[in-house]
Amino acid sequence: MVPRTAAYLPSLRSAFAAERFTVDTFVTFFFRLVAGCLTFPCATLMCFLLASEVMGQDNLLDVAKSLFRPIPKRGAGLDGNPAMSDKLELGKMLFFEPRLSKAHNISCNTCHQIGRGGADGRSTSIGHNWQRGDRNAPTVLNAVFNIAQFWDGRAADLKEQASGPIVNPVGMGTSPERAVAELKGIPGYVEAFGKAFPDEIDPVNYDNIAEAIAAFEATLITPNAPFDRYLKGDENALTSEQKEGLALFVNRGCSSCHNGINVGGGMYALFGVVEKPGWEFLPPDDKGRIEVTCKMDDKYVFKVPTLRNVALTAPYFHSGRSWDLDQAVAVMGTTQLGTQMKPEEVDNIVTFLRALTGDQPQVVYPILPPSVVSTPRPAP
């Protein structure tokens, strides 16, 4: 069942404001929980948010610490994929390697540009033969902390995600066999794979391509944002305006979906819990996660995106149709929370969101191994 906690926030908050939070109101909420209309994590968040209303949130920092976590300063490791230096170096080369694409003109960095917040600044990315993808490219920064990868969650982890675009006809347009043949035809890569996977007889294979890229991507994190320093106890890390935005972000219910270490990325949600957005933001032909699960409850359901570095990753939404962060916040207010935010409230929340921009990865562009006469040539 899709969590729809946010849909009940406005009415419950209205009850609080009018001092009408009666036994009946609580019983209604309780039976929705029992009936399965609310998942346990969302119900927990809901109870916390309601309690925060009662307490008046005397200590905003304590509230924030209960909902969010700071990004660690060191790169994250992947289960079963030790971040050995040789594997990381190979993964970095492959991330920037355009010869993994059929026409030798697209790399992972083409759509997930490290210097642009891990995205590409387009509504939808341009792939093989100038084809356009169906969805906005999510940021690769901090993606290791997401519950799954892609907007519909079809990849369980970074390794599975890394293997997808290479063989996507609208992406890099090649095949596993051709990608492997390409790298085996470059002596420098044969040597690099041998160092990264020393225990394997034939280390240049498609599974290892994805594993190496995933190991590198797991290091692309952005710690030390003002919000991270605040969560660690530095109450001066946020301005008074940013604290006002944080309080609104929590009290309005934004944090019921955008929480955890990534301020999002940890659950799926219907786009239009309370009110469907216009088709300019929700293209009717893209039905979201239902295409993965085949469950009707997942129609127009998408992974909640991380808000880390969101000030750097316009345009917004899976459709990439909003270029204005203020507009995106206002749309989320009406569609997900059923509330028309005042312009000054939107401004305060956006001011807080800018405090989520962390230290960007400092990546030295790798020198890629040269092709030789026997290396497969690019296809038209």
Instruction: Give one DSSP letter per residue of 130-153, joined into a string.
Output: GPBPSS-----TTGGGSSSBSTT-
The stretches in the chain having pLDDT less than 50 are 1-45, 47-57
- What angle, rounded to 10 degrees, do the helices at 343-353 and 240-251 form? 110
H-type alpha helices, 257-312: 290-293
Taking a C-beta distance cutoff of 8 angstroms, is the pair 280, 320 a contact? no
pLDDT in tens, 153-211: 999 999 999 999 999 999 999 999 999 999 999 999 999 999 999 999 999 999 999 99
**Contacts for 367 with CB less than 8 Å, ≥ 6 apart:** none
**What's the pTM?**
0.85
* Per-residue model confidence (pLDDT) at position 76: 61
The DSSP-derived string for 209-238 is HHHHHHHHHTT------HHHHHHTT-TTSS
Torsion of the alpha carbons at 57, 59, 62 and 64, rounded to the nearest 10:
60
CA pseudo-torsion sign 131, 137, 143, 149: negative
Taking a C-beta distance cutoff of 8 angstroms, is the pair 169, 128 a contact? yes
* Per-residue model confidence (pLDDT) at position 84: 85
* Per-residue model confidence (pLDDT) at position 129: 92
pLDDT in tens, 40-61: 444 444 544 444 443 344 599 9
* Per-residue model confidence (pLDDT) at position 83: 59
Cis peptide before 98 (omega within 30 of 0): no
**Contacts for 45 with CB less than 8 Å, ≥ 6 apart:** 5, 67, 255, 256, 259
* Region of residue 243 (left: phi > 0; alpha: psi -120 to 50; beta: else): alpha
* Per-residue model confidence (pLDDT) at position 318: 97
